[in-house]
Chains A and B, each alone.
Chain A
Amino acid sequence: MKTSAVFSALLSLLSLASAASADSKSSSTSTTLPATFKPPQVFKNANLVHVISVEKNYVKENINVLVQNIDKAAQDEYFVPFTADQLSRLGGVEVKDRKDSNAGPFVAEAVEFDQESDIQYLRIRLPKPLAPGAQQTLGISYYLLKAYKPLPASIKQEEPQFLSFSFSAYCPSAYTTTKQKTEVKFPSSTIPDYTKIPGSGEITEFPQVQGSKLTYGPFDEKPAGATQPVSVRFEFNKPVTHVSHLERDIEVSHWGGNVAFEERYTLYHRGANLSSLFNRVKWQQSQYYQPNTFALKELKFPLRVGSADPYYTDVIGNVSTSRFRSNKREALLEIKPRYPVFGGWKFPFTIGWNSDAKNFLRQTAAGGFVLNVPFLEGPRQPEGVEYEQVQVRVILPEGAENVQYHTSVPSQSINQVSVELHRTFLDTIGRTALVIKGRNLVDDFRDRELVITYDYPLAAALRKPLIIFGSAVAVFVSAWLVGNLELKFDTRKK
C-alpha cells in the first residue's frame, strides 16, 4: 500500500516535470533570445538627459544620451529596458542621431526573450557599428499611454482635477550611466506633491523647482538597472481623452472621383470620476462663470482643405451639435459630444466626410495610381489625444492589384498589415482593402502620411457597368423568349 502511494507520487512528480519541460519548449520557440538574456555591458552612458513631459494626457519622454563603446569590438545594438507593463503601453518610438539629422530614424524594436520577465528590452540598431571608444549621441523619444491616475479618484464637477504619475528619477538603462538628470515638464506650476530625495554635491535636496518644471539631478555614476521610484501629483484641469479603438476607413472611388473618410471612435475619459450625480443646472451655470473644466465638451478636427459633406452620428443617430467651417483656407469640423464627458464616462461616435479624388490621388507615369492620405486625422486638442488601437482601412476600387504602401508612422507602432476584400454596393468580387493595425499612437502623429500605389486595369474599372449591362441584356432576352412561348391550346382540327 505504502509503496504504491510512493510510486504514484513519483509518477505525478514525473508528469509535472514533463509538463514543465513542454511549457518551456513552447515558450522558447516564440522567443528570439534566451530567457537568461542580459544586454552585454559594451556601452557606457557618458551623459544622459531624460525629459519627461506630462503636459498632455499622454506622457512624452525624450532620452538624449551620449553613448560610448567600452568594448574591444565595434557594436551596433543598444538596449533600452522597460517594464512589461510599460512596454504594453509604449508607442511611437523614434530614435535619431542628435548630431546628424541625415542618419535617419534608426530601427527600434521590442525584443522578446522571456514573456514572464518583468524587464523587457527595446533594441535599437545603429546604422553603422560604433567603433571601440567612439561616442554617439542618441535621441530616443517615445510615448506612454494610460500613464496617469487621478488623485483624488473622484471629485465634484466644479472642482479642479489632479493627476499622479510615477516614474524613476534615475533613467532606466541597461548600462552604467556616468552623469544624468531627469527633467519633468508640467502643464502648469500647480504641483502640490512630489517625492523629495536627498541631493548630491552642492544641492541638498532634489528636485529643483523652476516654474512648471522639476529637475531631479544631476546624479553621479549609477550602475545598470538602478532605479529611484518617485511620484508627482499635478493639476490637470483638462479632459484625459483616451480613444481605446479607432477605426478609420478611406474609400477610393474612381467612378465618382471621390475619396470618402469615415472614423469610428470609442472614446473614454480616464480622469477623475464624479463624486456626486451630474448636476445639469450647475453645469449650465458654470459655462458662464467658470468655463474651465475637466469635462470633455468639444472636439476640433482640422480636416484637409476641400473636405465636404461632413456627418457626425452616434448610436442614437445624428448629433446636431456640430459646426463645419469650410473655405479656401480651412475645413474645420467642430463637434460637441451629446453630453459633457466626465471621468470614467464613454462616448462612442462616428464622423465622416468626402473629398475630391484629385486632392489625394494621382496617376503615375507607369499607368498606375498613387494615393497619399494622412494616417491619422483625429481631433487637435490642446490637451492631446491618445489612441490605443488604430485600424486604418484603405478601400481601393474593385479589382485594384499590386498594392504597395509606405507610412512615416514609426514601425514600432504598426502591428499588422494585410490586404483583404471588402464587399459593398455593386460589387461582385469585392474591393481590395489594405488594413493597417497600429497601437499606442498619439495626436502628434496626426499628419503622418500613408502612401499607397496600386494598378487598376481598364477591365477592372469596367466591371461594374459590364455586370449591370449583362444583367439587363439577360432580362430583355428572357422577356423576348418568354414572349415567344406559345401557351394557348392548339385549336386546329385534325
Chain B
Amino acid sequence: MDSSLHEVWQAAAGSPFVPTVGKDNQFLVGFVLLLLGLGLGGAFTLNRSIVNLPVLAVPASAALAFGVVYMFCAVGVYV
C-alpha cells in the first residue's frame, strides 16, 4: 500500500480518461463498421481470388474486428 498514489490521482486531475469513441456514438460506429465488414466479406465470397484477398477480405476483417468490439460496447457489454 502506497499513500503517494493519492497524489498521483490529484496530479492527473487535468487529464480524465476519454475513450476514442464516446458512448453515444458506439452503436453508430459499430453498426457502420459491421455493415461495411459484412458487405466487403460478401463481395469477397462472390468473387474469391488471390487479388481480392488483400483488396476485399483484409479490409472486411479489419472493419469486422472494430465493428464487433464497438457493437459489444454499444449493447452494454463493456469489454
Residues of chain A at the chain B interface (Cβ within 8 Å): 251, 253-258, 260, 309, 354, 356-359, 361-365, 369-370, 372, 404-407, 411, 424-427, 449, 451-453, 464-466, 468-470, 472-473, 476-477, 479-480, 483-484
Contact A256 B8, beta carbon cutoff 8 Å: no
Q: Give bound CA distance, A405 to B37, whole Å.
A: 41
When distances are taken between beta carbons in the complex, the residues of chain B under 8 Å from A424 are 79
Chain A CB within 10 Å, residue with most, of B5, B18, B23, B49: B5
Contact A477 B57, beta carbon cutoff 8 Å: yes
Residue ID in chain B nearest A259 by CB atoms: B78
Contact A257 B16, beta carbon cutoff 8 Å: no
Q: Is B66 an interface residue (CB 8 A)?
A: yes
When distances are taken between beta carbons in the complex, the residues of chain A under 8 Å from B72 are 256, 425-426
Can you list 14 contacts pairing A with B, beta carbon distance less than 8 Å? A256-B73, A362-B17, A363-B15, A369-B17, A370-B9, A405-B5, A406-B2, A426-B72, A449-B6, A464-B79, A472-B65, A473-B57, A473-B61, A480-B50
Contact B78 A255, beta carbon cutoff 8 Å: yes
Residues of chain B at the chain A interface (Cβ within 8 Å): 1-6, 8-9, 11-13, 15-19, 21-23, 26, 37, 41, 44-45, 48-50, 53, 57-58, 60-62, 64-66, 68-70, 72-73, 76-79
Residue ID in chain A nearest B79 by CB atoms: A426
Contact B69 A255, beta carbon cutoff 8 Å: yes
Whether A473 contacts B12 in the complex (CB less than 8 A), given A254-B17, A256-B19, A406-B1, comes out as no
Contact A258 B45, beta carbon cutoff 8 Å: no
Contact A480 B48, beta carbon cutoff 8 Å: yes
Whether A425 contacts B48 in the complex (CB less than 8 A), given A370-B12, A406-B5, comes out as no
Other-chain contact of B23, A258, A365, A451 (Cβ < 8 Å)? A258
Q: Give bound CA distance, A253 to B37, whole Å.
A: 24
When distances are taken between beta carbons in the complex, the residues of chain A under 8 Å from B3 are 406
When distances are taken between beta carbons in the complex, the residues of chain B under 8 Å from A255 are 19, 69-70, 73, 78-79
When distances are taken between beta carbons in the complex, the residues of chain B under 8 Å from A407 are 1
When distances are taken between beta carbons in the complex, the residues of chain B under 8 Å from A362 are 9, 12-13, 15-17
When distances are taken between beta carbons in the complex, the residues of chain A under 8 Å from B16 are 358-359, 361-363
Chain B CB within 10 Å, residue with most, of A256, A358, A470, A483: A256
Q: Give bound CA distance, A470 to B58, whole Å.
A: 9
Contact A469 B65, beta carbon cutoff 8 Å: yes
When distances are taken between beta carbons in the complex, the residues of chain A under 8 Å from B18 are 257, 357-358
Q: Give bound CA distance, A361 to B78, whole Å.
A: 15
Residues of A contacting B: mostly: mixed
Q: Give bound CA distance, A405 to B2, whole Å.
A: 7
Contact A469 B45, beta carbon cutoff 8 Å: no
Other-chain contact of A425, B37, B49, B53, B79 (Cβ < 8 Å)? B79
When distances are taken between beta carbons in the complex, the residues of chain A under 8 Å from B41 are 472, 476
Contact B8 A453, beta carbon cutoff 8 Å: yes
Contact A476 B60, beta carbon cutoff 8 Å: yes
Other-chain contact of B5, A370, A465, A476, A484 (Cβ < 8 Å)? A370
Minimum C-beta distance from B46 to chain A (A) = 11
When distances are taken between beta carbons in the complex, the residues of chain B under 8 Å from A427 are 79
Contact A473 B13, beta carbon cutoff 8 Å: no
Q: Give bound CA distance, A452 to B2, whole Å.
A: 10
Shortest Cβ-Cβ A-B pairs, 9 listed: A257-B19, A253-B78, A472-B61, A256-B78, A256-B73, A476-B57, A362-B12, A469-B65, A358-B16
Other-chain contact of A258, B11, B58, B65, B78 (Cβ < 8 Å)? B78
Residue ID in chain A nearest B68 by CB atoms: A468
Q: Give bound CA distance, A190 to B77, whole Å.
A: 52
Contact A476 B44, beta carbon cutoff 8 Å: yes
Q: Given A357-B17, A426-B79, A473-B57, 17 other A-B contacts at CB below 8 A?
A: A257-B18, A257-B21, A258-B78, A363-B12, A364-B12, A406-B4, A425-B72, A464-B69, A468-B61, A469-B62, A469-B64, A472-B61, A476-B53, A476-B60, A477-B57, A479-B44, A479-B45
Q: Give bound CA distance, A370 to B14, whole Å.
A: 12
Q: Give bound CA distance, A484 to B49, whole Å.
A: 9
Q: Give bound CA distance, A174 to B13, whole Å.
A: 47
When distances are taken between beta carbons in the complex, the residues of chain B under 8 Å from A453 are 5, 8
Q: Give bound CA distance, A140 to B78, whole Å.
A: 43
When distances are taken between beta carbons in the complex, the residues of chain A under 8 Å from B13 are 362
Chain B CB within 10 Å, residue with most, of A251, A309, A359, A406: A406
Contact A451 B57, beta carbon cutoff 8 Å: no
Residue ID in chain B nearest A480 by CB atoms: B48
When distances are taken between beta carbons in the complex, the residues of chain A under 8 Å from B26 are 256
Contact A363 B17, beta carbon cutoff 8 Å: yes
When distances are taken between beta carbons in the complex, the residues of chain A under 8 Å from B58 are 473
Contact A465 B69, beta carbon cutoff 8 Å: yes
Minimum C-beta distance from B40 to chain A (A) = 10
